[in-house]
Structures are given as C-alpha cells and as structure tokens.
Amino acid sequence: MHYFNLHTHIYTNQDDVLELVNQYPQEFTDTIPNYSIGIHPWFIVEDRIEADLAIIESKLKESSCLAVGECGLDKRIEIPFALQQTVFERQLLLAEQYQKSVVIHCVAAFQELIAIKKALKISVPFLIHGFSKNEQVAKELLANGCYLSFGKYLLRMPQLESVFCAMPNDQFFLETDTDEQTIQEVYDLAAQYKGLSVAQIQELVNANFRKVFGSQQITK
C-alpha cells in the first residue's frame, strides 16, 4: 500500500491506493472492497433510524467494513441537536460492540464530542475527518485520544500549515472526502509542510493505519 485515503465518497480503484469509502445504509453497495458505513447527521430520517441502524449492524459483522461513519454532530444544520446526539451515541455503541473505529463529522460541537466519548467510555479510535480548525482545538482532540485527518482544507487553507506541522506523526491521516483533487496531491502537500519525502509520509500514515486497522482483514 503506497497511499491510504482515510475518507472518500468516490471509489477510484487505483492499484497503489487503499480507500476507505463512505457508504450510507440506504445506498449500500457490496462492490466496494473497504468501506465505512454510518448515518451522517445531515441525513438523519427519524422514521428510518431503526432500519438504518439494523443495516449498519449487519455490515459491521463483515470484514470489508473497517469503520462506522461518517457520523457525528453538526450545530449548523436544522436537524435537532438532541436527535443528532442520540443517533450518534447509538452508532458509537455499535462501534464499541464490534470494535470498529469511527469516522467522525463534527461541526461546532467538539466539546460535546469529547464529553460523549468520555461518558460512554468509548475505547475505539475516533477519526476526525476533514479537520480545519486551529491548533488549540487540535491539541484538545489529540489529548483525548482522537486522530485528525486532513484533506481538502489542507489544500485550500494556508493557515492550516502550522496546525498540520504541529501534528504528532502518530495521530494523523490524509483523505480526499468529496474533493476532485487526488490523494497523491494531498500527500505531496503534507510532505512539503512536514519537510519530509512523500515516501516518509506514506510510512507514517501506513504505521497509523496498522495501529488503527491492523487487526482487520483488508481487501486490495
């Protein structure tokens, strides 16, 4: 594996890229070899929650499902926050039950995220995707055992350079999300910011991959 893409909505099937492809319960396809599955807070449908959770649980039993998510909390949408929290907590409990890491979407709710993690005593890794906040937020998340994943915002927001450079090498991932840029472009910029070669960045991310997903069977 030369490149690992922690979170993408677009399966590109490149020989040198392992992609963790986001799937939604009602749109699931078994043609994707490695995926996460979850209820995104934007797409919570109240009368479908039980059916969606049942689908998620059934997929968590399969080796090709590497993680729950993306799921999480978003204070900038109209879905009631209490409902978001309930759906998020139920997915976390499934992740804990099946020992799968969690790909997390979080907007303006990092304190609540940390509080839930502590209250539910969640031990599986929290993978905060699309990180775009400042160093203070990053430090608090890192101190609470989260991993931060960087992608399109790293490419678009020069102010993230200092945040990324301060990241411990054993707590970051790289991704493309919905972006048209390639994972190779993200790795190139990450290497430039860290003052390392692309091969060294690959080694770091691969080491983090083994730490988080190493016990699971990976199809490539």
Q: Which residues pair with 128 in a beta bridge?
A: 104, 148
Chain-centroid distance of CA 133 in Å reads 15
Which domains does the chain carry? 3-213 (3.20.20.140)
What does the pLDDT read at residue 214?
Answer: 84
Query: What mean pLDDT do residues 13-42 have?
Result: 96
Residue 220 has pLDDT above 70, yes or no: no
Query: What mean pLDDT do residues 88-94 have?
Result: 98
With beta carbons less than 8 A apart as the criterion, state whether 155 and 162 touch: no
CA distance 132 to 145: 18
Hey, what amino acid is at 4?
A: F
CA distance 127 to 25: 20
**164: Cβ–Cβ under 8 A, 6 or more apart, which residues?**
150, 154, 172, 190, 193, 194
What does the pLDDT read at residue 4?
Answer: 97
What does the pLDDT read at residue 212?
Answer: 97
Residue 59 has pLDDT above 80, yes or no: yes
CA 111 vs CA 10, 43, 64, 151, 199: distances in Å:
30, 22, 32, 22, 35
Query: What mean pLDDT do residues 113-120 have?
Result: 98
Query: What mean pLDDT do residues 125-153 have?
Result: 97
CA distance 3 to 112: 32
Query: What mean pLDDT do residues 60-70 have?
Result: 97
- Ranking 77-81, 167-171, 211-215 by mean pLDDT, the lowest is 211-215
Verdict on whether the full-model pTM lies above 0.85:
yes
